[in-house]
């Protein structure tokens, strides 16, 4: 059994992650949590995920645990992860990575040198339809990939969009990272990157809230669009991969999860919509992080090898850094 704790409760996915860990008492002994910001204790300390758990200082918790969930405010994620790996602890780090590229690389290099697990919390890695797409690409069913079209938008509240002003790149930094992760895993680092970070100024809020990035490969183009002002954007979240033999289209990506598949046999005419639906159990509403958390255990226990290598994690952050014009923080407003 792995002794685990959570550092920080300020990340938007923090409580859900703790709830997932607590589902598996046969795998994890939950030691407690740490949060240094009393404002977060007031806002979230009484949430169900932390019910009955002891609060420790960061150093105390690190000392008592084998592994840590890093769920701090985004700007502190890499700094706290470095503290943990310096102490020889495995880390599950929420997204996106923070700090300079050099700081991020130092954290990864330290973990690699010490043979420690680093798991980034990119949730779509565990989406059943995304995993099916990985399989189709690996098996060659889609042929040579020519195009990826990825969208991840929402119509956010003014409060959320004000929070986004903390971050260079705004919604591209916070949500676009999920899509960049998948594209880099499938295609590697692009040859060229073109970014368009636009401000709608809706509600008088000055932030990158309507963004597009185009990633060039030798024969392929990958488009990443993220908006914080798209009405029913959640319903249009999409991941489409097209190759010389076939196309998959996941839209919506979750709730409901809907995937279609077409190949040259199914699409036997050029001017009609020919596809089949691939059914999945949509586990994203009730257990979005469960498989991820179970894999974290398996990686630490040596039962599985993490397919998302240290090198991959660095490449994702490197591409994200270029897309947003350098990871940077303009403030630390938690309201």
Query: What DSSP string describes 68-81?
Result: EEE-S-GGGHHHHH
pLDDT tens, residue by residue, 245-280: 999 999 999 999 999 999 999 999 999 999 999 998
Pick out the chain residues at pLDDT < 70.
none
Distance from C-alpha of 225 to C-alpha of 3, rounded to nearest angstrom: 39
Burial class (CB in 10 A: 0-12, 13-18, 19+), 106: middle
What pLDDT, on the 0 to 100 scale, is given for residue 284? 75
Alpha carbon distance, N-terminus to C-terminus of the chain = 37
Q: How far apart are CA 132 and CA 278, in angstroms?
A: 10
CA triple 159-164-169, angle to 5 deg: 155
pLDDT at position 282, please? 83
Handedness of CA 285, 289, 294, 299 (dihedral sign): positive
Question: Going by C-beta distance under 8 Å and a sequence separation of 6 or more, which residues neighbour residue 11?
Answer: 71, 72, 73, 74, 77, 94
Q: What is the dihedral of CA 156, 154, 78, 217, to 10 degrees?
A: -150
Peptide bond just before 160 cis, omega within 30 deg: no
Share of the chain above pLDDT 90, in %: 97
A 10 A CB-CB count for 218 gives 6
CA dihedral (287, 293, 294, 300) in degrees, to 10, reads 180
Quote the pTM value.
Answer: 0.97
pLDDT of residue 287: 82
């Amino acid at each position: 059994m792995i002794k685990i704790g959570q550092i920080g409760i300020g990340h938007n996915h923090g409580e859900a992650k703790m709830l997932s860990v607590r589902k598996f008492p046969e795998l994890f002994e939950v030691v407690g949590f740490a949060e240094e910001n009393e404002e977060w204790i007031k806002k979230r300390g009484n949430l169900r995920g932390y019910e009955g758990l002891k609060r420790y200082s960061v150093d105390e918790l690190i000392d008592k645990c084998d592994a840590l969930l890093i769920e701090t405010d985004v700007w502190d994620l890499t700094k706290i992860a470095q503290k943990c790996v310096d102490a020889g602890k495995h880390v599950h780090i929420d997204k996106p990575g923070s700090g300079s590229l050099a700081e991020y690389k130092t954290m990864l290099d330290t973990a690699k040198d010490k043979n420690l697990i680093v798991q980034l919390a990119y949730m779509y890695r565990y989406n059943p339809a995304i995993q099916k797409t990985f399989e189709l690409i690996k098996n060659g069913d889609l042929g040579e990939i020519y195009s990826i079209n990825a969208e991840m938008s929402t119509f956010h509240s003014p409060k959320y969009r004000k929070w986004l002003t903390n971050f260079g790149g705004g919604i591209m930094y916070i949500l676009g990272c999920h899509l960049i992760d998948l594209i880099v895993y499938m295609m590697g680092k692009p040859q060229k990157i073109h970014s368009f970070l636009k401000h709608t100024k809706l509600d008088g809020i000055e932030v990158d809230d309507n963004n597009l990035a185009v990633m060039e490969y030798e024969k392929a183009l990958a488009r990443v669009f993220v908006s914080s002002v798209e009405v029913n954007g959640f319903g249009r979240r999409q991941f489409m991969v097209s190759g010389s033999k076939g196309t998959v289209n996941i839209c919506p990506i979750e709730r409901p999860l809907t995937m279609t598949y077409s190949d040259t046999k199914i699409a036997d005419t050029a001017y009609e919509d020919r596809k089949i639906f691939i059914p999945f159990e949509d586990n994203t509403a009730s257990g979005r992080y469960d498989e991820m958390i179970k894999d974290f255990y398996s990686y630490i226990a040596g039962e599985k090898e993490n397919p998302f290598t240290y090198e991959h994690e660095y490449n994702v952050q490197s591409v994200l850094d270029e897309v947003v014009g350098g990871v940077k923080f303009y403030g630390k407003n938690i309201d």
